[in-house]
Structure 1
Amino acid sequence: MIKLEKATLKRSLGLWAIVGLGLGYMTPTIVFDTFGIVSNETNGVVPLAYLTALVVMLFTAISYGKMVQVFPSAGSAYTYTRETMSPLLGFIVGWAALLDYILLPMVNALIIRIYMVSVFPSVPAWIWVVIYVAAVTGLNVWSMGKTSSLNSLLVVFEVVLIAAFIVLAFVKLSQGMGQGTILTTEPLFHSNIHLGAILTGATVVCFSFIGFDAVTMYAEEAVDQKTLPRAIMLTVFIGGAIFFVCGYFAQALFPDVSNFKVTDDTLPEIGLYVGGQFFKLVFLAGAFAATVASGLASHASVSRLLFVMGRNGVLPKKLFSYVHPKFRTPAFNVILVGVVSLLAIAPSLELISSFINFGALIAFTFVNLSVIAHFVFRHKKYKTGKDIFSYIIMPILGAGTTGILWYNLQADALIGGLVWVAIGLIYLMFQTRFFRVKIADFAFDDAEKSSAL
């Protein structure tokens, strides 16, 4: 007889499957949606904003790569903070990160609803939300492998369409559209650019990179855990390259946004101007596929975070640490995320969408601090120049550059995030009887810990 509590997550994900999940989470086509906004913010140097954001994200990605080798658990920033600083602080970081992870599937459901209503305006909006959420939830319960396979197909479709855009942009530039030349420095530098504008634009596009951190959530489902650091860096570099190249060609084609009727979401018009009505429809199909891919990946990621928090006992263990004995997926968590995603039936989620940034920044900041806490304070890795550079300077740069994003965080997102953290603290006080009872510790198997200290 199978004991439900002994069931474990299934190791079924190879390197490229994990990278595909990370890219799916990042939604590469978002570069076209936000092009008008970023072009306005930066005075027409969108690719430079992405390049700046890539540099900022690399420091934090390197820190994620270090920590996932030491703690090969699905908990990501929550686990790293918990194990290097304190279980109480780890809970707060995990709780804050939940705001990022649990809201993104809901936002994806909202975007799908908007797409479908625009095509079928006579059909009630709630029907599309229910159908989409049911499909994504069912697939995530059934199999992580199947989720990954469908995600990979959708990501490939996105990449093919992005390649088609580049080819069409090449032709249009050759014919004199925009800058009228393929090789131009105008999208990267011109007399009207300012450092402040570039940093503001970089702050906006940095959140396009959210997803590389979610790669660490699949640590316990990776066929080989040693591939996780490579998967993180590949996700950042591939995603960054796509953003930069697409941003370059889009900016070369559209030196300013005067041709766009709607600058808040320029993807449809970019498709129209570059390839005509047919390509516009195909481009929209790609955006739809990108949203579904992001929905699949984000749904899977938050389910794993809830699973680890349940396994550690900071959430009700019987429910949140449950693994389906046949499918070997955290079925309760997947279904719970699906139920929360149904809130996308509501008419507007603009404010909720902005809260995502708060949770992501909490995670980014504490992953960098975890590197210092683990390697410097616990293992005294500060006696050589290499150690100082790797375990002090690099994570400080990661935390410092993340601070730039904190400075530019919307006031509504900051207030809402602090309210969410306050709720978590109240829950934590209830669980620990005002901190008189210790949070149950999850004991890592020594064999799972990295020897690369």
Structure 2
Amino acid sequence: MEEKNHHLQKSLKLWHIVFIGLGYMAPMAVFDTYGIVSEETGGHVPMAYVLTLAAILFTAASYGKMVRVYPSAGSAYTYTQKTMHPYLGFLVGWAALLDYIFLPMINALLTKIYLSAAFPNVPGWIWIVGFIAVLLLVNLSRVTITVSINAILVLFQFLVCILFATLAIRGLLGKGENLFSMHPFYAPDMQAAALLSGASILCFAFLGFDAVTTLSEETPNPRQTIPRAIFLAALIGGMLFTTVSYFTQLLFPDISVFHDPEAASPEIALTIGGTLFQAVFLAAALTSTLASGIASSVSASRLLYAMGRDRVLPERIFGYVHPRLGVPVYNVVLIALTSLTALCLDLITATSFINFGALTAFTFVNLSVIVHYMVRRKERGWKAMLNYMVLPLIGISFIGFIWAHLDAKSVMLGLAWSTLGLLYLVYMTKAFRHKPPQFHFEETESIQ
């Protein structure tokens, strides 16, 4: 198949891509989940983050292996398509769209919640429409401008987290508390089941590390840059989450002090720094939703582009790249229009959509490593068994644990969406009599 449209521009550097991953992960989310996870783990949130990071790095390693073979904007869609079957690849890509397309909508809903609390007299729809308009404007810019704006928003969140840690240290010293307590990480009565249950909640804080793979065609050397970016995004995000949750756990070991443990972040900010810090905290929360919205819109538009270029979606729309901007502009506009469904959906329903898509992608990327290296290439020896069988299986085991704890609503919505994809696939392939068209990549194993 020949490429008829303009290419994505290869202009992104390592730091650009790392910040996209961090923006997607939304650093300020560490405060939003603190109350829930602290209750779930019995006061060991930092240890739950350590376990989550350790587990998620196995899947991150699988993404790194596959992007070296197929440096494509299609990410899990392409990996599954090439290693297993085009039909299965399409269905994985279709499921992954749930994660990428619905996250901007979730960020729009969160923005409405934050700003409606601060300005109750302003109609909520104004915040949603305004947020989506900003996303659209930013994502219709050149990708270097988009990711630079995202980086500024992420840096502001990091500064607020550093300020929080500084205030926390001051508060702990004022109360004569031990800054180096190991209790948040270990206690004799700590229960492994409770920690794993907490980790299953925190897993979704790390979704951004895989989003960077959709930028593989916009960096000059993706086979080196993208695996590094995946690892750095997951590691930096994990270290930030662990550090912030450590100080939060020391300050608030008993979550009964919160009026609403499921929405404890405003109370945390007010308690530690007063109304001024609470205002700064709110600003950081808003930049978090904006950065995550930008990053997820970028990722979604690239996945749609890959599927359009393959002609599994209409190529003239989804495979089109603007000749001057180097951006799949129709996809960006479509995502903005889809995000307007935030006007009629609630946060719980919207969140249920993304979990199914993310876990589907994670599962099949790990499987792609096993199939590509152990089945197709017939790699043998203990090093191959470790790298291409054992490590992906560990990743699959952890993801399987998350699947087991996924709520029924997420499963039902995900299956309904997948059924729509299956029906479209039947139509597109004339009842499976034809394979879906594919974009052909030259496989490489030059970097292992």
TM-score, with structure 2 as normaliser: 0.97
1:411 counterpart residue number: 408
Cα drift, residue 133 of structure 1: 0.8
Aligned residues: 445
Q: Secondary structure at the match of 1:212?
A: helix
Cα drift, residue 134 of structure 1: 1.4
Cα drift, residue 196 of structure 1: 0.9
Q: Secondary structure at the match of 1:314?
A: coil
Among 181, 186, 189, the residue aligned to 1:184: 181
Q: Secondary structure at the match of 1:6?
A: coil
Q: Which amino acid aligns with 1:234?
A: L
2:447 counterpart residue number: 452
2:348 counterpart residue number: 350
Quick one: distance in 1 between partners of 2:89 and 2:412? 21
8 A Cα contact 1:140 1:296, kept in partner: yes
8 A Cα contact 1:5 1:323, kept in partner: no
1:23 counterpart residue number: 22
Cα drift, residue 233 of structure 1: 0.3
Quick one: distance in 2 between partners of 1:130 and 1:143? 22
Q: Which amino acid aligns with 2:383?
A: K
Quick one: distance in 1 between partners of 2:16 and 2:187? 40
Among 386, 389, 402, the residue aligned to 2:386: 389
1:82 counterpart residue number: 81
Q: Which amino acid aligns with 1:314?
A: V
Residue 432 (1) aligns with residue 447 (2): no
Q: Residues 343-371 of structure 1, C-alpha deviation per residue, up to 9 Å, x if partnerless?
A: 11125231221221111110000000000
Q: Residues 227-278 of structure 1, C-alpha deviation per residue, up to 9 Å, x if partnerless?
A: 1110000001000000111111100111110111111121111111111111
Q: Which residues of structure 1 form unaligned runs of 5+?
A: none
Q: Which amino acid aligns with 2:34?
A: F
Paired residues for 1:227-242 under 5 Å: 227-242=225-240
Give the stretch that moved more between structures: 332-341 or 262-271.
262-271
8 A Cα contact 2:66 2:79, kept in partner: yes
Residue 256 (1) aligns with residue 251 (2): no
Q: Residues 177-236 of structure 1, C-alpha deviation per residue, up to 9 Å, x if partnerless?
A: 7xx210101111224321111110000001100110001010011133121110000001
Quick one: distance in 2 between partners of 1:165 and 1:195? 29
Cα drift, residue 114 of structure 1: 1.6
Quick one: distance in 2 between partners of 1:291 and 1:165? 19
Q: Which amino acid aligns with 1:451?
A: S
1:274 counterpart residue number: 272
Residue 292 (1) aligns with residue 290 (2): yes
8 A Cα contact 2:352 2:413, kept in partner: no
Q: Which amino acid aligns with 1:77?
A: A
Among 334, 337, 341, the residue aligned to 2:335: 337
Cα drift, residue 111 of structure 1: 0.9
2:203 counterpart residue number: 206
1:368 counterpart residue number: 366
Q: Which amino acid aligns with 1:385?
A: W
Quick one: distance in 1 between partners of 2:197 and 2:405? 8
Cα drift, residue 123 of structure 1: 2.1
8 A Cα contact 1:71 1:450, kept in partner: no
Residue 420 (1) aligns with residue 417 (2): yes
Give the stretch that moved more between structures: 8-17 or 134-143.
134-143
Give the stretch that moved more between structures: 247-256 or 185-194.
185-194
Q: Residues 65-105 of structure 1, C-alpha deviation per residue, up to 9 Å, x if partnerless?
A: 00011100011100000010110000010011111111101
Q: Residues 150-192 of structure 1, C-alpha deviation per residue, up to 9 Å, x if partnerless?
A: 0000000000110011111111111117xx2101011112243
Q: Residues 125-144 of structure 1, C-alpha deviation per residue, up to 9 Å, x if partnerless?
A: 22222221112112212211
2:221 counterpart residue number: 224
Q: Residues 392-425 of structure 1, C-alpha deviation per residue, up to 9 Å, x if partnerless?
A: 1111111111111111111111111111111110
Quick one: distance in 2 between partners of 1:222 and 1:232? 14
8 A Cα contact 1:60 1:398, kept in partner: yes
CA RMSD in angstroms, aligned pairs only: 1.3
2:308 counterpart residue number: 310
Q: Structure 1 runs of 4+ off > 3 angstroms?
A: none
Quick one: distance in 2 between partners of 1:354 and 1:242? 26
Q: Which amino acid aligns with 2:313?
A: L
1:62 counterpart residue number: 61
8 A Cα contact 2:321 2:327, kept in partner: yes
Q: Which amino acid aligns with 1:193?
A: M
Cα drift, residue 451 of structure 1: 2.4
Quick one: distance in 1 between partners of 2:376 and 2:25? 34
Quick one: distance in 2 between partners of 1:97 and 1:418? 12
Quick one: distance in 1 between partners of 2:286 and 2:4? 38
Q: Which amino acid aligns with 1:97?
A: A
Cα drift, residue 121 of structure 1: 2.1
Q: Which amino acid aligns with 1:114?
A: I
Q: Secondary structure at the match of 1:328?
A: coil
Q: Which amino acid aligns with 2:314?
A: P
8 A Cα contact 1:432 1:439, kept in partner: yes
8 A Cα contact 1:76 1:217, kept in partner: yes
Paired residues for 1:85-164 under 5 Å: 85-164=84-163
Quick one: distance in 2 between partners of 1:265 and 1:220? 39
The change in CA–CA distance for 1:409 and 1:323 in structure 2 (over 3 A counts) is: same
8 A Cα contact 2:5 2:320, kept in partner: no
Q: Which amino acid aligns with 2:219?
A: A
1:243 counterpart residue number: 241
Cα drift, residue 450 of structure 1: 4.2
Quick one: distance in 2 between partners of 1:344 and 1:38? 26
Cα drift, residue 316 of structure 1: 1.0
8 A Cα contact 1:74 1:308, kept in partner: yes
Quick one: distance in 2 between partners of 1:87 and 1:318? 21
Q: Secondary structure at the match of 2:255?
A: coil
Residue 215 (1) aligns with residue 185 (2): no
